[in-house]
Amino acid sequence: MGERIVVGMSGGVDSSVAALLLKEQGYDVVGVFMKNWEEQDDNGTCTAETDWRDVREVCDLIGIPYYSVNFAKEYWDRVFAYFLKEYQAGRTPNPDVLCNREIKFRAFLDFAMSLGATRMATGHFVRSDEAGHLLRGLDPNKDQSYFLYMVHDAQLKKSLFPVGGLTKAQVREIAEAHHLPVSKKKDSTGVCFIGERNFKKFLAEYLPAQPGDMVSTDGEVVGQHDGLMYYTLGQRRGLGIGGRGDGRSWFVIGKDLERNRLLVAQGEDHPLLYSSLSVAEDVTWVGEAPAEIGQPFLCTAKYRYRQADQPVEVVWEEAGRLRVRSLVPQRAVTPGQSLVLYEGDRCLGGGIVTMVLDAGMLSNG
């Protein structure tokens, strides 16, 4: 028997192909399905049951043992509670980055080691090297390094990413060639525990909505919002005030938490939508910090997933805080979202945006 590798399997095509490739390379592969959420979707279907069935079918086909492990309590305590707290504070969180840090590369990694594995593997489209560097996935349309910036080099050294050097098309081709039952299964979208459900309806089950005024830049009440937690900076759809003003589309430019007001303005390029200076906290470096505290350095950044790299100057002001100046004004930088830093293909780390300093937005903190 070769080296034991435990693969985190979601029931999707990426993790299924990851397990298949490792099996073909001669590893002693064990598939493990993580159940992180207990509820049904809007149709009364427990999607976890469908995914678990797909995992079993794939593992039987490629000839590896499989387990299921329930991390629902850990997920609730370490990820979902944070998610609710951030929305309550008027921010727009990204729970996927926390899920990777707390569940997949902590709780699951520990479980994999308990099964006698030397390393774990996932279907993420990222790459790593022996030094524990986190590198972008080869397919630029599927690269997931943005979501893994909270994972440390020590964890990466115990991890494998078999599909990180492939394109999504190649992954599906491999799945079809081996007749995997998930070869044509569509990719999951949205927040993992919400899935295809109506987001607004889901959030209302956990947080009481507080409707209030939508207010323009000159202080005029132009409409009513359903609750500040339902809106994000730069949002256009769903405002319901299209007939007001000069006929141009309205956009969310900020949140006045004290007075429960949603601030809106007309025009996709309204100056209050743009900023160049922001602060990020809860800073995580994948490996060693790229500079000493107080020393500026140049790199690129993503303020949101799928965004093209933006040139920035960064100052690590203290252990948990970055001041980031973008060399190109950024649209709708959003408190609660992750600001992730890169040097070429290497992901350096990042932090959570807490303040936008030069856009006049009332949504800081």
Based on the residue annotation, tell me whether 192 is a catalytic residue of this protein. yes
- Residue 333's alpha-carbon distances to 65, 79, 279, 315, 329, in angstroms, are 45, 22, 10, 18, 10
Q: Which long-range contacts (CB under 8 A, 24 or more apart) does 207-211 make?
A: 207/84, 207/87, 207/88, 210/260
Q: Which residues pair with 32 in a beta bridge?
A: 8, 67
Whole-angstrom distance, CA of residue 236 vs CA of residue 300 = 27
Whole-angstrom distance, CA of residue 284 vs CA of residue 282 = 7
Q: What is the dihedral of CA 345, 20, 95, 78, to 10 degrees?
A: -120
In eight-state DSSP terms, residue 105 is I
Pairing of strands 338-343, 346-356: antiparallel
Cβ atoms 279, 258 nearer than 8 A: no
- Write the single-letter amino acid at 188: S
Q: At a CB cut-off of 8 Å and minimum separation 6, what does 161 contact? A: 18, 121, 122, 123, 124, 125, 126, 127, 128, 137
Q: At a CB cut-off of 8 Å and minimum separation 6, what does 324 contact? A: 277, 278, 279, 280, 301, 312, 313, 314, 339
Side-chain half-sphere CA neighbours of 239 within 13 A: 28
Q: Which of 46, 59, 99, 347 is labelled catalytic?
A: 99
- Residue 118's alpha-carbon distances to 108, 153, 213, 225, 330, in angstroms, are 13, 16, 56, 52, 43
Whole-angstrom distance, CA of residue 180 vs CA of residue 59 = 10
Task: Assign residue 245 a region (left: φ > 0; alpha: ψ between -120 and 50; beta: otherwise).
Answer: left
Q: Catalytic residue numbers?
A: 99, 192
